[in-house]
Chain A
Amino acid sequence: MSESVKKEPINWNSAMKEILSGSVTRTLLSVILGFAVGAFFMIISNREFLQNIGYFFADPLASLRAAGDVVSSGYGALFKGAVYNASAATFDGAIRPLTETLRLAGPLIAAGLGIGLGFRVGLFNIGGTGQLVSGIIWATFVATRMELPPVIHLVVAILAAIIGSAIVGAFVGFLKARTGANEVITTIMLNYVIISFFNYLLLDNNLLQGATAGGYTKSDPAAETARLPALLGESFALNLGFVLAIVAVVLYWWLMERSTIGFRLRAVGFNASAAKTAGINVNATYVLALGLSAAFVGLAAANQALSSTGGVTPTSHAGIGFDAITVALLGGSSAPGVLLAGLLFGAFKAGASAIQIEGISPDVLLIVQGAIVLFIAAPPLIRAIFRLPPPQTTNMLTALKSNLFSRGAKR
């Protein structure tokens, strides 16, 4: 530890200020505000509340009680459906919601990392859906049309998904590098093209359509040798896909923060022309970045194609390519951030049906999602609402940390 840092007296006040002005505080407050916005929509759409509001001055408690009821039953159902179901008879039943959250978070995390990687390079990959579907096509081909020994089959199918997605991403990067075509446009267009192509494949018996699909767009179920194995026994749907997503988080962290490639990617994202001057091949970096971005999305594709026991359909992408954008934004494109954001949105997906049972449309969770990211996008707004101090430059937190750390080290 350097002497100058250690000598600085700890000023708790400015350390506190730094914490309050930091991004973690802001993110937490944004999440709380997002839930508040969701609560607002639940309340204004509640019949009982609307009936009582007419007599608000005669009996203010009645409408407030109705408002409280609907919000607590809504978010209570979310907790019950996504984290822990206290009213379940068995322990298995009680933790089932949590396993569902993890299962649904897996692909969101993987795809969120992919979109986040694009953001770090200054690229807006809106084509998560198309890349995901391309990955599903490849994985489904391997999983339903090839016969391979158990473990190898699964590995080949996962690699096929990753390659199938990555190729689309790299193609977009190639078009951008070669012709300057705006990646926002090319990815949107490819989304539609690939989905149509997938529909076509699923309508032909000789291609990907399942033997029993009849006239429907549906494939055969993935061969058992190519299915992601269950983690907690057959009674839970949670499978290896979540573990793969966690591996992806670690890989992403290493790639972006520790590797040379990550340095190159970040340099281009920070300032493309400066990176060019420094000798980085910007065009090649675009191809690489979009290819890698889509490769992470491909992992989500593997999860979608190799999890279900029923075969894939045109909607098997489950909107993950799009949700991943909000996941990446909420997570600030950092590895731990995307992990947490993916878990939160996975919980939203898991809790949706429980909220529906309470008579509240689960679309309210979409509003919560949107509101959270909207608040995160505008730090000055959050600071104004909660009267947080402006960004601090005192570095007191670093001083505090190193102080604690060096003391511990000496002992």
Chain B
Amino acid sequence: MSAETKKEVRESWKTPAVMGVLSATVLVFFGILGKPEAVSFELTGVREVVQLPNIEVGSGLLGTFAGIALVVITALVAWQVSQNKRASIWFSMLFGAIALVALLGWLAAGNVVPVAFILGSALVLAVPIMLGAMGGIMSERVGVVNIAIEGQLLTGAFMAAVISTITGNQLLGIVSAMITAALFSAVLAVFAVRFLAQQIIVGVVLNVLAIGITNFLYQQWVTEDESATNSPGTLPIISIPVLGDIPIIGPVLFQNRITVFLAIGIVIVLWFILFKTKLGLRARAVGENPLAADTVGINVGRTRFWWVTLGGLLAGLGGAALTIGSSGSFGREMSGGLGFIALAVVILGRWHPGYATAAALLFGFSIILRIWAGQVSPGIPTNFITMVPYLVTLIAVVGFVGRSRPPAADGIPYVKG
């Protein structure tokens, strides 16, 4: 064994180190120095069929227990690393979940935590990020870097709001949002595949164009008569019978708009196609080693074109979720960087639909946390809570993901030689 391969095999101590610092923080600040007031976790809303009692626990006590649990997980991960095994991603996720519960308990000392409301809102807010990330994964898995998610979300949001209003048909709005974003994505695909352009450049430019075009049309056409062009209303909330009545899970998962159901379905289907079907295997082959894929008869250019273009469909749906799936009308630059967060989510989720969804949920959670924390503990500067998701991503990228490995041919044009 040469020295270099040995070095490659050795697992990094970075993950347990970062975890150690975080668990110590939770244990000391939320636990030992925590607040004595009780915090009450409200599991069921007033109007629900099945009622569960609220769980009350001392804020500091919760912090202490959470801190201890985190230390245990850190120890387990450290043991894994010492055995030269890769730290399990499940431990990382469990770690994150417990740390978040501790944070909730600390923020809401002396208050009530509406669990179902927070989880449900987190999911709804995560949907555009999630769908954008799925579009990004489809594109990057076949080797095309997609910076243009932001632009696709924005065009989708615009089309969904405007077409829904003009035609009076929200379904048509969703379809046109998806198709427009897919056409937008097709531009990226054509430039990447046919013109061998620098994909990052094309992505950045497409974002500029999307902002420019939606802003321009918004100001020229939409603002003149908002009621005729930009008041689509929101999609109806569908409650799935029986399942919708299960406490906590029901309101969070089964009483939602169609966009949420579609998003959850898409994640599962995409995962299945990518990892369990021939189609997905071919796509991944194109992204990892286009030359080899070409040699065995896979059409690299065509595969790339279709995966990137169809990925746009998903991002467009994400855009629709921004307007008619939540606020209703369209506003200037309303995607506000969510597309870039989706990009981060793709990398944070290691180009895997499931992990990316978890990362998207983290962002959704932090958005609602910021809104809610502003109400329950006004003393905390919201600017710092705003930072939390970005800092968490930063820590995660530095500490947990590190040299995350993108598809080997990501961003490299393929020239058939």
Residues of A within 8 A of B (CB): 41, 45, 124, 126, 175, 179-182, 184-186, 188-190, 192-193, 196-197, 199-200, 203, 325-326, 329, 360-361, 363-371, 373-374, 377-381
Is B212 within 8 A of A193, CB to CB? no
Is B215 within 8 A of A366, CB to CB? yes
Q: Counting CB contacts under 8 A, is B412 at the interface? A: no
What's the least CB distance linking B396 to chain A, in Å? 9
Is A374 within 8 A of B383, CB to CB? no
Q: Among the interface residues B147, B196, B383, which one has the most CB atoms of the partner chain A within 10 A?
A: B383
Is B391 within 8 A of A189, CB to CB? yes
Closest A residue to B12 by beta carbon equals A179
Q: A364-B216, A370-B205, A370-B208 are in contact. Are A192 and B343 (CB under 8 A)?
A: no
What's the least CB distance linking B407 to chain A, in Å? 14
Q: Which of B201, B212, B402 contacts A367 (CB 8 A)?
A: B212
Further pairs besides A182-B404, A186-B397: 9, Cβ < 8 Å: A185-B347, A188-B340, A196-B384, A200-B381, A373-B201, A373-B205, A374-B209, A377-B205, A380-B194
What's the least CB distance linking A51 to chain B, in Å? 14
Which among B32-40, B56-64, B217-225, B322-330 touches the partner chain? B217-225
Q: Which of A180, A329, A364 contacts B204 (CB 8 A)?
A: A329
Q: Counting CB contacts under 8 A, is B202 at the interface? A: yes
Number of A-B contacts (CB under 8 A): 136
Q: A196-B386, A199-B383, A377-B201 are in contact. Are A180 and B403 (CB under 8 A)?
A: yes
Q: Which of B205, B394, B403 contacts A193 (CB 8 A)?
A: B394
A278 CA to B169 CA, complexed, in Å:
63
Is A326 within 8 A of B204, CB to CB? yes
Residues of B within 8 A of A (CB): 14, 147, 191, 194-198, 200-202, 204-206, 208-209, 211-213, 215-217, 219-221, 337, 340-341, 343-344, 347-348, 381, 383-384, 386-387, 390-391, 393-394, 397-399, 401-404
| B340: chain A residues within 8 A (beta carbon) | 126, 188
Closest A residue to B383 by beta carbon equals A200
Is A361 within 8 A of B195, CB to CB? no
What's the least CB distance linking A9 to chain B, in Å? 35
Closest A residue to B386 by beta carbon equals A196
What's the least CB distance linking B63 to chain A, in Å? 25
Is B205 within 8 A of A374, CB to CB? yes
| A179: chain B residues within 8 A (beta carbon) | 14, 398-399, 402-403
Q: A196-B383, A325-B204, A369-B212 are in contact. Are A186 and B394 (CB under 8 A)?
A: yes
Is B398 within 8 A of A181, CB to CB? yes
Q: A182-B347, A188-B344 are in contact. Are A193 and B387 (CB under 8 A)?
A: yes
Q: A179-B14, A363-B212, A366-B211 are in contact. Are A197 and B220 (CB under 8 A)?
A: no
Q: A326-B205, A329-B205, A374-B206 are in contact. Are A203 and B383 (CB under 8 A)?
A: yes
The 9 residue pairs across chains A and B that have the minimum distance between CB atoms: A366-B212, A180-B403, A370-B209, A378-B195, A370-B208, A363-B215, A361-B219, A367-B212, A200-B383
Is A197 within 8 A of B343, CB to CB? no
For this complex, 25 residue pairs linking A to B, each with C-beta atoms less than 8 Å apart, are A182-B397, A184-B347, A185-B393, A188-B337, A188-B340, A188-B344, A189-B344, A189-B393, A192-B337, A192-B386, A192-B390, A193-B390, A196-B383, A326-B205, A361-B219, A361-B220, A367-B213, A369-B208, A370-B206, A373-B204, A373-B208, A374-B209, A377-B202, A378-B195, A378-B197
| A197: chain B residues within 8 A (beta carbon) | 383, 387
Is B402 within 8 A of A181, CB to CB? yes
Closest B residue to A188 by beta carbon equals B340
| B212: chain A residues within 8 A (beta carbon) | 363-370
Q: A363-B212, A380-B196 are in contact. Are A45 and B217 (CB under 8 A)?
A: yes
A180 CA to B209 CA, complexed, in Å:
31
Q: A181-B402, A197-B387 are in contact. Are A367 and B205 (CB under 8 A)?
A: no
A13 CA to B351 CA, complexed, in Å:
51
| B220: chain A residues within 8 A (beta carbon) | 45, 360-361
